[in-house]
Amino acid sequence: MDFDLSPELAALAAEARAVGAAGASRRRHAEDGWLIGHDPEFALELAARGWLGMTWPTSVGGGGRTALERFVVFEALISEGAPLATAYFADRQIGPTLLQFATAEQQARWLPGILAGTSMWCIGMSEPDAGSDVASLRTRAVPDPDRPGGWRVTGAKVWTSGAAHADHCYVIARTDPEARPHAGLSELVVDLASPGIEVRPIVDQTGDDHFCEVAFDDVAVPPGHLVGELNGSFRQVMRQMEHERGGIDRLVSNHRLYRDCLPLADRGDERVRQEVAALETGYRLGRLLVLREVLGQAPPAFSAATKTFCTEHEQRVAAFCGRVLGPAAQAWDPADGESSATSGLHERVARGLTYAPAYTLMGGTTQILRTILGDRALALPR
């Protein structure tokens, strides 16, 4: 089997690497740009290059390109640290969800802004008392008594990435409180400029504030904003999570940090060489798992395993970089400044170590994903 990219794909990857590196140079550091790198101008550049909605049908304005083309573009962009977050959640999962479950009228309303890189979306799933257990969500949507077909939403979401910059939130809300917990949920597109919404950024342990609390106080949602089946969100959200879990972003968030630390590693030490070999092998295995997902060759629910393997690889990368730079990076303090010799690497490694636990939490924790793998992919007995 020939694993090399065709000359056309290799050229596309090289182009994306150059664009990604230029975008990353506008950021303080190059890691996790798909999640925290908010940059509206870069979103416009992605759109101008036809890199948003690359694989969506041309009939809705998409690029009609192959999954492999999108894979090489985003592997290159994210590996370089490109600031993708403004456009990425919509490109990765909201657009595909709308293509699968929304009406033609809804697609015509929302897809053009996503493709143009001018509308930013966030995902309102987790709540203060419901993270892993989606079935226990409590945010309520009740029919609007003043507007047939409309809804009024009340509740709170938390850890909502990008909400402070987004203009739409894809909310999962309880629309039938009498139904079994899994059965009474629906999906609503909520305009974040609506009266009654308060967005409060949360500062994480790295000092960054990309995710937020979002409070909804009797927020009016117009008719035509419920996506898919009333009370049918659970099935839809499982599909949406496949888009979220099986992608290349789960493997390469800190790949640039690895590349930048590798030349400083003591390769005269055989234990270091073994660790490098394990990381190189892990990267290639993770890449093959992601390729199976994006090419539609993975079994149902297998994205749980793909995300687990890939995000644990990202944590191993962070730990390796911490060992390479040693205590100077691990004890680095912003007040210490940075020597020109390491040109920002101490700060990046310190941040990378602090941030690493998040990889196996977001998008479903490793414990939950192992259960999904056992239950749904391997059909193991409980």
Ligand X SMILES: Cc1cc2nc3c(=O)[nH]c(=O)nc-3n(C[C@H](O)[C@H](O)[C@H](O)COP(=O)(O)OP(=O)(O)OC[C@H]3O[C@@H](n4cnc5c(N)ncnc54)[C@H](O)[C@@H]3O)c2cc1C
Q: Footprint of ligand X on this chain (CB under 6 A)?
A: 122-126, 131-132, 159-161, 211, 358, 361-362, 364-365, 367-368, 371
Task: Read off the tokens for 53.
Answer: 């909605």
Indicate the residue among 131 and 181 with the shorter CB distance to ligand X: 131
Smallest distance from ligand X to CB 263, Å: 29
Smallest distance from ligand X to CB 183, Å: 19
Q: What backbone phi and psi angles, to 5 degrees, belong to 217?
A: -115, 95
Indicate the residue among 169 and 349 with the shorter CB distance to ligand X: 169
Indicate the residue among 214 and 298 with the shorter CB distance to ligand X: 214
Read off the DSSP letter of residue 263.
Answer: G
Smallest distance from ligand X to CB 192, Å: 13
Indicate the residue among 281 and 367 with the shorter CB distance to ligand X: 367
Smallest distance from ligand X to CB 203, Å: 12
- Nearest residue to 213 via CA among 225, 193, 198: 198
Q: What is the C-alpha to C-alpha distance for residues 97 and 150, in angstroms, rounded to an integer?
A: 21
Indicate the residue among 130 and 325 with the shorter CB distance to ligand X: 130
Smallest distance from ligand X to CB 352, Å: 14
Indicate the residue among 123 and 325 with the shorter CB distance to ligand X: 123
Indicate the residue among 161 and 303 with the shorter CB distance to ligand X: 161
Q: At what angle do helices 270-294 and 303-325 cross, to 10 degrees?
A: 150
Smallest distance from ligand X to CB 233, Å: 13
Smallest distance from ligand X to CB 125, Å: 3
Query: Which residue's Cβ has the minimum distance to ligand X?
Result: 131
- Nearest residue to 353 via CA among 86, 32, 26, 20: 32
Smallest distance from ligand X to CB 216, Å: 14
Angstrom CA distances, 21 to 24, 26, 32, 35, stand at: 5, 9, 13, 16
- Nearest residue to 4 via CA among 284, 280, 257, 251: 284
Task: Read off the tokens for 57.
Answer: 């049908």
Task: Read off the tokens for 237.
Answer: 């959200």
Angstrom CA distances, 226 to 179, 181, 189, stand at: 18, 19, 7
Indicate the residue among 46 and 358 with the shorter CB distance to ligand X: 358
Count of residues making up the chain: 382
CA 285 to chain CA centroid, nearest Å = 20
Indicate the residue among 325 and 358 with the shorter CB distance to ligand X: 358
Angstrom CA distances, 164 to 123, 132, 200, 202, stand at: 12, 23, 7, 10
Contact in structure between 141 and 153 (CB atoms under 8 Å): yes
Smallest distance from ligand X to CB 265, Å: 28
* Residue 120 three-state SS: coil
Smallest distance from ligand X to CB 275, Å: 26
Indicate the residue among 36 and 298 with the shorter CB distance to ligand X: 36
Q: At what angle do helices 270-294 and 67-80 cross, to 10 degrees?
A: 140
Read off the DSSP letter of residue 13.
Answer: H
Q: What is the C-alpha to C-alpha distance for residues 272 and 258, in angstroms, rounded to an integer?
A: 13
Task: Find tokens 């290799």 and name the residue.
Answer: 10
